[in-house]
Structure 1
Amino acid sequence: MRWSAGVCAVVALLVLGTGPAAADPALIGAPGAGDPYYPLDGNGGYDVSHYDLAIDYDPPTHHLRGTAAIEARAVQPLAQFNLDFRGPEVLMVTVNGQPAGFAREGEHELVVTPLLPLPAGLPLRIVVDYAGEVADTEGKGWTYAPSGGAFAVGQPHSASTWYPLNDTPLDKATFTLHASVPAEWEIMSTGERTRHEVRDGRLATTWETRQPVIGYLTTMAVDHFTFLETRRADGTPVLSAFAPESEHNREDEQRVPEILDFLENLYGPYPFEVAGGIYVDAVIPFSLETQTRPTYAPWADLNTVVHELAHQWWGDTMSVRQWSDICLNECFASYTADYLWIERIDGADVDTKYRDTIAKYRDDTEFWEYALADPGAGTEFTSVYYRGPLFLHALRKLIGEDVFFAALKDFVTAHRDGHASMPEFREFLQTRTSLPLRDFLAEWLDGTRAPRDAFLYPGTLGG
């Protein structure tokens, strides 16, 4: 981020007569995954492997009809479990083909009560039908575009505004989107576009994301897009789209193959089958690393493109375990764009850039206010952008070029399609050098004031 009559009776009984208190507490999946910042995000009791969405959207009325088929497995006996959903009215829920009770609770809980309790280990097919006007979240999920179109974007939440899911970084899954709109509109999403055809006045598309993805890294965008289609030298397809007022971004987007080559040299092979970008023209304050195809605000520049593409390694294929680990996303993407790209492509003197930044902010208490390793709920998207690159540059100078770059590539490669945490990264670093790193890492990552001079100016940085 940069910035059925008998069945109906049974269903009625389930919906109206079953609440959370009716089930044995031991058989209820937890309403949250326990993230320290967002404890009610995600849910317990099951693990999702795949989402298959069918979405029909009408831009003039903002009416969305959806069917979410969720393939999962019970990890405990379940008489009840939750999904995260902030979208339109739920019409029906089935579990393994049987009607299930459901209720909306709180801001985003969809409580599902299966007809019969589910044993641990049972494969689940949860189908949720829903329909209604989907609200404009203004960059915190489903968002209206100036043209009358819409797109889904937001961090740490967005997916629950347009489909039900287990909304936690810990439960990555593959993702298929079948989306339909009136034929005068176009659709973009993540992954490979495997269908794109007009029939009876409607455009129907299918998008396949075959590597596991977190919910906030999925998207659907509807607009009067124009397209840019290219390929990398290795054959990787690059498909990008531009909303009406974002054509000025086309020149930067043409450099995606070059940027991916640059990033591969740093962090290993590009982790996905396709690439590209989605350029919207709504005024939102951030761009976002939606997996395989970042979503860019109209102000995005080349630095933003490098940043969001670096996230395909740092944040997408390797994802955080919890939101306090956000430095693993933003510190690394920021350092890549703000230091490594300009150093290696533009020939910039980044040591001087580092020293000038330290001189400017060393005594600024607000600059050091939020710890990189745990910036806090609601303030997680702060210091990681501007102090994260400084930390990584100082680390590079301390442990040396060869050790630094080999460590980064090996760490992100080892966690491909998985998760990592800041504590894991700290432990890993120490296995790569005989230098004692505990105090250096503590002052840079845990501290809320400038590190001591020896840690501010290690190696050739000077004092």
Structure 2
Amino acid sequence: MRLSGLICAAVAGAIVATAAPAAADPFTGASGLGDPYYPEDGNGGYDAGHYDVTLDYDPPSHRLTATTRIDAVATQALRAFNLDFAGPAVRTVTVNNMPAAFNRNGEHELTVTPMIPLLPGLPFTVTVEYSGQAENTEGNGWTFAPSGGAFAAGEPHSATTWYPLNDTPLDKATFALHATVPAEWEVVSIGVRTQDEVRGDRRVVSWEAHQPVIGYLTTVAIDKFSFLEQRRANGTPLISAFAPNAERNRETEQRLPEILDFIESVYGPYPFESSGGIYVDADIQFSLETQTRPIYAPWTDLQTVVHEIAHQWWGDSVSVRRWSDVCLNECFASYTADYLWPERMDGLDVDAEYRSTIAKYLDNTEFWQISLENPGAGSEFTSVYYRGPLFLHALRKQLGDAVFFAAVREFNAAHAFGNASIPDFRKFVQSKSPTDLTGFFNAWLNQTTPPADEYLYPGSLRA
């Protein structure tokens, strides 16, 4: 994610939530997975494998009628389990095609009780039918556009506003969307478009993502889009969509093949089967790395596109284990857009840029007060943007270019389509260096004061 008008004033007073208590009933899946920041996110007792969402949306009335099928495997005996869902009223739930009892509770819990308990290790299917008015969350999920269209975007939460799921980075699954809208409207999502046909006064569109994805990285966007269709030299399809007042971004998006080639040269092969972008015209304050096809706000520029495309490697393919690991996402995306692209494509002296930034903020206590590793709930999306690039540039100078770029490329490949943590990254990088990096990492990732000069100015950054 990239925020508009990034500022270097840190947000104080982070609140760290405590872990959720274990489920009292050993045959009921836990209602949350205990992430320190969002303990009720995700659910225990099963592993989701695929989501198939079929929806009908009427833009004038914002009426949403949908069915979501979830293919999963039980990881324990289950007489009941939870889904995360904050969308319209649920009409029916079935488990393995048999009616199931259900109730809604908490902020986003849908508790399901199957007619026949589920056995560990066996696959099962849950189907949820729901219908009602879609609610405008203004950038925290289902969001209405000025044109009358709508789209889903938000981090770390957004998917629960339009389909039920196991909403945790730890349970990636493949995804398919089948949407029906009035014929004059278009539908864009992630992955590959497999259907787009008009039947009378209705349009039916399908998109499929064959690589696993986290909930907040899925999206649906409905508007009177125009399209830009391109291909990479290797044939990868690039489909980009522009809302009625977003056409000015078309020239920037035409550089997508060049951007993909550049980032691929740094971090290794592009991990997905398609790419593109969705340019909305709603007044949101962020752009978001929805997998294969980022959501772009009206203020998007070239640097923003580079940032969100870098996320396809860092955040989408390799995802956080916990939200305290968010530097893995944002530090790398910011470093790619703010340092590597300007250095290699525009000839910027990034060492000078680094020194200038350090000099500007060295005595600014607010700049340093939120740590990069474990910044705290509510502060995840602060220091990782403005201090993350400095950390990675200092690490690059500490290791030297050859070791640094080989290490980050290898680390990314080793965790592709999975999860990783900041401790994992620290351990891996240490294995590539004969020098003890404990002090360096602590100074940059854990301290809330400026690093000592030996860590601020390593290698060729030394005066």
The match for 1:450 is: 450
Check whether the contact 1:224–1:243 (CA below 8 A) recurs between aligned residues: yes
* CA displacement at 1:462 relative to structure 2: 2.4
Name the residue aligned to 2:221: 221
CA–CA separation in structure 2 for the residues paired with 1:47 and 1:338: 37
Once the two structures are TM-superposed, the CA of residue 122 in structure 1 deviates from its matched residue by 1.8
**Counterpart residue identity of residue 230, structure 1:** Q
Give, in whole Å, the separation in 2 of the partners of 1:180 and 1:374: 42
CA contact (8 A) 1:2 1:308 kept: yes
Counterpart position of 2:6: none
Q: Deviations over 1:161-192 (max 9, x none)?
A: 00000000000000000011000111100000
**Separation in 1 of the partners of 2:462 and 2:446?**
23
Corresponding residue of 2:209: 209
The match for 2:184 is 184
Query: Which structure exhibits the higher relative contact order, with contacts defined as CA atoms closer than 8 Å and separated by 6 or more residues?
Result: 2
Matched, 1:368 2:364: no
Matched residue, 2:7? none
Equivalence for 2:144? 144
Structure 1: distance between partners of 2:227 and 2:212: 26
Report the equivalent of 2:20. Answer: none
Within-5 A mapping of 1:235-250 = 235-250=235-250
Which amino acid in 1 is paired with 2:257? P
Superposed, 1:57-456 pairs within 5 Å as: 57-456=57-456
Residues 50-103 of structure 1: per-residue CA shift (max 9 Å, x gap): 001101000000000110000001000001100000000000000001100000
TM-score by length of 2: 0.95
Deviation digits for residues 128-186 of structure 1 (CA, Å, limit 9, x no counterpart) = 00000010000000000000000000000000000000000000000000011000111
For residue 355 of structure 1, report the CA deviation from its aligned partner: 0.2
Report the secondary structure of 1:181's partner residue: strand
The structural deviation recorded for 1:29 is: 0.2
Q: SS state of the match for residue 91, structure 1?
A: strand
**Paired residue type of 1:240:** S
Question: In structure 2, the residue corresponding to 1:210 is in which secondary structure?
Answer: strand
SS in 2 for 1:179: strand
Residue type at the aligned position of 1:58: D
Task: Report how far residue 117 of structure 1 moved.
Answer: 1.4
* Separation (CA, whole Å) in 2 of partners of 1:33 and 1:219: 23
Q: What is the number of residues matched between the two proteins? A: 444
Distance in structure 1 (CA, Å) of the matches to 2:315 and 2:24:
38
| Cα distance change of structure 1 residues 429 and 24 upon mapping to structure 2, 3 Å threshold | closer
**1:384 partner SS:** helix
For 1:343, the aligned partner's letter is E
2:194 match: secondary structure: strand
What is the CA distance between 1:200 and its match in structure 2?
Answer: 1.9
In the alignment, what sits opposite 2:32? 32
Corresponding position of 2:11: none
Cα separation, 2, equivalents of 1:119 and 1:264:
43
2:429 maps to a residue whose letter is L
Distance in 2, Cα, partners of 1:202 & 1:304: 35
Amino acid at match of 1:190: I
| 1:136 partner amino acid | N
Q: Indicate the SS of the match to 2:304.
A: helix
Quote the Cα distance in structure 2 between the aligned partners of 1:450 and 1:97.
Answer: 59
In the alignment, the residues of structure 2 paired with residue 88 and residue 176 of structure 1 have an alpha-carbon distance, to the nearest angstrom, of 20
The amino acid across from 2:226 in the alignment is T
User: Helix, strand or coil: the match of 1:345?
Assistant: helix
Q: Determine the C-alpha separation between the residues in 2 that align with 1:445 and 1:76.
A: 37
Equivalents in 2 of 1:293, 1:73: separation in Å? Answer: 28
Partners of 2:261 and 2:141 in 1: CA distance: 31
> In 1, distance between residues paired with 2:117 and 2:397?
57
Which secondary structure state, in structure 1, belongs to the residue aligned with residue 428 of structure 2?
helix
Runs of 4+ aligned structure 1 residues displaced above 2 Å come to none
In structure 2, C-alpha distance between the alignment counterparts of 1:385 and 1:131, rounded to whole Å: 39
SS at match of 2:118: coil
2 CA distance for matches of 1:251 and 1:447? 42
User: Distance between the aligned counterparts of 2:119 and 2:222, measured in 1?
Assistant: 41
Q: 1:19 corresponds to which residue?
A: none
Mapped contact 1:42–1:166 kept (Cα < 8 A): yes
The residue type paired with residue 76 of structure 1 is Q
Letter in 1 for 2:122: L
- C-alpha distance in structure 1 between counterparts of 2:121 and 2:134, whole Å: 35
Scaled by the length of structure 1, what TM-score is found?
0.95
Q: Distance in 2 between matches of 1:198 and 1:48?
A: 32
Give the 3 Å change call, closer, same or farther, for CA 69–456 of structure 1 in structure 2: same
AA partner of residue 197 (structure 2): E
SS, match of residue 245 in structure 1: coil
Shift of 1:24: 7.5
Q: What corresponds to 2:51 in structure 1?
A: 51
Instruction: Provide the secondary structure at the position in 2 that maps to 1:261.
Output: helix
Quick one: which amino acid aligns to residue 452 of structure 1?
A
Question: Helix, strand or coil: the match of 1:265?
Answer: helix
> 5+ residue gaps in structure 1?
4-22
Q: Is the 8 A contact 1:24 1:79 kept in 2?
A: no
| 1:131 counterpart letter in structure 2 | S
Aligned to 2:12: none
Post-superposition offset of 1:118 = 1.2
Confirm or deny: 8 A CA contact 1:288 1:308 kept in the other structure.
yes
- CA deviation map 1:311-358 (0-9, x unaligned): 000000111111000000000000000000000000000000000000
> Percent of aligned pairs with the same residue?
66
Q: Which runs of 5+ in 2 are unaligned?
A: 4-22
